């Protein structure tokens, strides 16, 4: 069994908290595979097992990429709001900034579907119940802001009351 490898020049962006972004150069399109997908521009076929079989079963997908048979199987997806029902109301209120038709993201709604970002925000915000509660919320909202920015809509959503960050307060990237 031969081992194949490809050395890629890429960027790893880490917010020193909860998010890592991997950015590959366009010449590497369709040269990669794995947990981050195959980089062919079609997110619908990113769930492909290590055996190159498409799947809709997230557990099968994740487990196929284990590097060692000693690694335990991934745990089934669960809804943390069921585990911490007292957090669900708070999470839904906080995350409503994403869907608010009069809010800071209103210009992005027709460019990027807010529903999956809202659902992820609620789920992530429910899961962060051990201190740093706002960190997961802020990261989830920032993911939607990033998607909006990539769609050409620059959203200035951080305020002193909502996810204020010294490092990002003056950073505002707009695509031209």
3-state secondary structure labels for all residues of 1-46: CCCCCCCCCEEEEECCCCCEEEEECHHHCCCCCCCCCCCCCCHHHC
Q: By percentage, how much of the chain surpasses pLDDT 70?
A: 82
The answer to the question of residue 135 being in a domain is: yes
Dist CA 105 CA 145 (whole Å): 8
The answer to the question of residue 49 being in a domain is: yes
Q: In terms of domains, do 30 and 96 share one?
A: no
The answer to the question of residue 141 being in a domain is: yes
User: Between the CA of residue 57 and those of 34, 35, 50, 105, what are the distances in Å?
Assistant: 15, 13, 13, 32
Residue in this structure with the two tokens 């210009």, named with its chain if needed = 107
The answer to the question of residue 145 being in a domain is: yes
Q: pLDDT tens digits for 113-138?
A: 999 999 999 999 998 866 656 888 99
Dist CA 58 CA 34 (whole Å): 13
DSSP, res 101: T
The answer to the question of residue 74 being in a domain is: no
Dist CA 32 CA 41 (whole Å): 12
- Contact (CB, 8 A) for 21 and 13: yes
pLDDT score of 74? 82
Q: Residue 100: which domain range? A: 80-169
pLDDT score of 3? 54
- The model's pTM is 0.70
Q: pLDDT tens digits for 132-161?
A: 568 889 999 999 999 999 999 999 999 988
The answer to the question of residue 72 being in a domain is: no
Residue 46: Cβ-neighbour burial (10 angstroms; 0-12, 13-18, 19+): middle
Q: In terms of domains, do 53 and 104 share one?
A: no
- Comparing C-alpha atoms, which of 124, 135, 122, 129 is closest to residue 96? 122
Dist CA 143 CA 149 (whole Å): 10
The answer to the question of residue 75 being in a domain is: no
Dist CA 22 CA 129 (whole Å): 27
Number of domains in the chain: 2
Higher pLDDT, 133 or 3: 133
């Amino acid at each position: 069994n031969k081992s194949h490898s490809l050395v890629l020049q890429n960027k790893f962006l880490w917010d020193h908290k909860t998010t890592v972004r991997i950015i590959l150069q366009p010449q590497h399109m369709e040269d990669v595979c794995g947990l981050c997908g195959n980089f062919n521009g079609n997110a619908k076929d990113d769930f492909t097992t290590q055996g190159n079989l498409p799947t809709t079963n997230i557990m099968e997908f994740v487990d196929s990429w284990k590097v060692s048979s000693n690694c335990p199987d991934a745990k089934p997806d669960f809804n943390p709001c069921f585990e911490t029902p007292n957090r669900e109301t708070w999470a839904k209120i906080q995350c409503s900034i994403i869907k608010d038709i009069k809010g800071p993201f209103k210009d992005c709604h027709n460019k990027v579907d807010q529903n999956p970002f809202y659902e992820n925000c609620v789920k992530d915000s429910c899961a962060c119940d051990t201190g740093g509660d706002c960190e997961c919320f802020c990261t989830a909202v920032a993911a939607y802001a990033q998607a909006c920015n990539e769609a050409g809509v620059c959203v200035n959503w951080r305020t002193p009351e909502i996810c204020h960050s010294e490092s990002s307060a003056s950073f505002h990237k707009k695509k031209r």
